[in-house]
Amino acid sequence: MKTNAPLSPPSRRDFLRKGTITGAGLLIMPSGSLFGASAASNRLNIALIGAHGRARAHYATLQKENVVAVCDVHQDKLALGMKAFPKAKVYEDWRKCMDHPGLDAVLCCTPDHHHGFISNWALQRDLHVYMEKPLAITVNEARTVRETYLTKKHKLATQVGMQRHANDNFPRLREMIQDGAIGALKDVHVWGNRKIPKPGYLPAAGTPPDTLNYDLWLGPSPEHPYNPGYFSGSAGANCLNWNMYWDFGIGQMGDMGSHTMDLVWNVIDAELPTSIESTSPEQFNPDVTPVELTSIYQFPKNSWRGDLRVTWYQGGAMPKSPFPWVDLNKIGHGALFKGDQGFVVADFSKRLLIPYGKDANLTYYQPRAESDLTPPLGHFQEQWLQACKNDKPSETACNFEYSANMIETMCLGLAGFRAGDGLEYDGSQGQITNIASANEFLTKPYRDGWAMTG
């Protein structure tokens, strides 16, 4: 039906997409018209939240876009970030930064206790988001972010900073196992050996320097006294000074666990577990997440595999090697896939196929032709930037559906540790069904005035 209604002007986002679809350079617009200076060059207007530390790994990629806002609670770090993006407007409070006019996207490298909040606030403002790992630090944070994302996945591109996913080993493992290199997949073991034992939150020590807004650093987390020890790490590794404390992180589950479980998650096509059982030689410490932990997850069958058990080990706990001549302890962060015809042992860049039993001649398995291999992902951050501009925003490797499911699962392992007993989980409702009191471990206390929605 014809209508005389005037055509609504294309949005800035439509122009950015069109620029990508038709090829960079074909989008010709006078600079400054309609959508600001960036539209003509098909660049995104991005806010960088958390200006230094891990953010340095993103500077080179971000230089290709318009970083219009930079936010940090630490003036010295902000100044370092501003050297890379001198034209950006500076902010101290990410809640204000998020409302910078004309923003398209947010890239966030703050400490973990802000991640779920910043992700959800950004999605609610229709901003694309690249969030450093982990996406969230509680089950409920992960569920809130996923719920918002699922209503917007047709228009917003998201990615969690699990950049090892771009290694060729990720698709090769997925292909091998799904194509039957070890027969039917039965069991998966995945581990990390990093240990950062701490007795508890650091004691009060002095007052924060004038250059640090410690109140905003704490953000949604309950008050803990200032101690310079939270800030004394080298750039990009300072997270190892705070990510083991319950109010700031989830220890190895969110730290190396985000990367190592990704190696498995990319293969198994799982959503949420139906049961969780965690064990540790340690008692629950209300300040610090456990160093040594084993969490066993049961996942329901899907279209290509049966019910599956996945066991996560950290901090010294390790699976038993299927063969004494394979020393799994030599792999700091790795995975062991067990099928009914063999094993695959893998780290982030290598894999070892060990067929066993009477069919160990591998005749049951036909490796893919080179032409059928999954194409390389390319540059991990670039994949997100391209997705922000093209018609398939949800087709990033570690979008917020994939990543929220994974981190929700990891957080359930910690809930199981706190409950001290096996948990039955209803993922459709986000409820532990066998121990009602354990549902309190799916969330954590926040400070007044901070909410996930905003």
Ligand X SMILES: NC(=O)c1ccc[n+]([C@@H]2O[C@H](COP(=O)([O-])OP(=O)(O)OC[C@H]3O[C@@H](n4cnc5c(N)ncnc54)[C@H](O)[C@@H]3O)[C@@H](O)[C@H]2O)c1
Chain positions contacting ligand X, by CB under 6 A: 49-54, 71-74, 77, 94, 109-112, 114, 132-133, 161, 163, 216-217, 219, 236-239
Q: Which is nearer to ligand X, 12 or 95 (CB)?
A: 95
With beta carbons less than 8 A apart as the criterion, state whether 131 and 118 touch.
yes
With beta carbons less than 8 A apart as the criterion, state whether 413 and 257 touch.
no
Give least dist CB 340 to ligand X, A: 35
- What amino acid is encoded at 444 in this protein? K
Q: How far is CA 287 from the centre of its chain?
A: 23
Q: Which two tokens stand for residue 208?
A: 């924060």
User: How wide is the angle at C-alpha 205 spanned by C-alphas 243 and 286, nearest 5°?
Assistant: 40
Q: Which is nearer to ligand X, 51 or 411 (CB)?
A: 51
- Residue 14 to residues 35, 388, 390: CA-CA distances in angstroms? 11, 11, 9
Q: Which is nearer to ligand X, 131 or 190 (CB)?
A: 131
Q: Which is nearer to ligand X, 132 or 347 (CB)?
A: 132
With beta carbons less than 8 A apart as the criterion, state whether 116 and 158 touch.
no
Q: Can you tell me whether residue 310 is helix, strand or coil?
A: strand
Query: Given CA atoms 213, 53, 128, 162 in this order, what sign does their dihedral have?
Result: negative
Give least dist CB 111 to ligand X, A: 5
Q: Which is nearer to ligand X, 164 or 338 (CB)?
A: 164
Give least dist CB 53 to ligand X, A: 2
Helix (H) or strand (E) run with residue 427 in it: none
Give least dist CB 98 to ligand X, A: 11
- Residue 117 to residues 18, 217, 364: CA-CA distances in angstroms? 31, 13, 48
| Other Cβ atoms within 10 Å of 57 Cβ, number | 15
Q: Which is nearer to ligand X, 35 or 117 (CB)?
A: 117
Give least dist CB 107 to ligand X, A: 11
- Residue 83 to residues 75, 80, 90, 103, 231: CA-CA distances in angstroms? 12, 5, 12, 21, 21
Give the nearest residue (CB) to ligand X. 53
Give least dist CB 162 to ligand X, A: 7
Q: Can you tell me whether residue 113 is helix, strand or coil?
A: helix
Give least dist CB 49 to ligand X, A: 5
With beta carbons less than 8 A apart as the criterion, state whether 64 and 46 touch.
no
Q: Which residues pair with 70 in a beta bridge?
A: 48, 90
Give least dist CB 270 to ligand X, A: 22
Give least dist CB 15 to ligand X, A: 30
Q: Which is nearer to ligand X, 39 or 218 (CB)?
A: 218
The C-alpha atoms of residue 199 and residue 194 are separated, in whole angstroms, by 16
Give least dist CB 259 to ligand X, A: 7
Q: Which is nearer to ligand X, 95 or 152 (CB)?
A: 95
Q: Which is nearer to ligand X, 17 or 58 (CB)?
A: 58
With beta carbons less than 8 A apart as the criterion, state whether 103 and 35 touch.
no
Q: Which is nearer to ligand X, 168 or 307 (CB)?
A: 168
The C-alpha atoms of residue 319 and residue 26 are separated, in whole angstroms, by 55
The C-alpha atoms of residue 172 and residue 170 are separated, in whole angstroms, by 5
Q: Cis omega before residue 134 (within 30°)?
A: yes
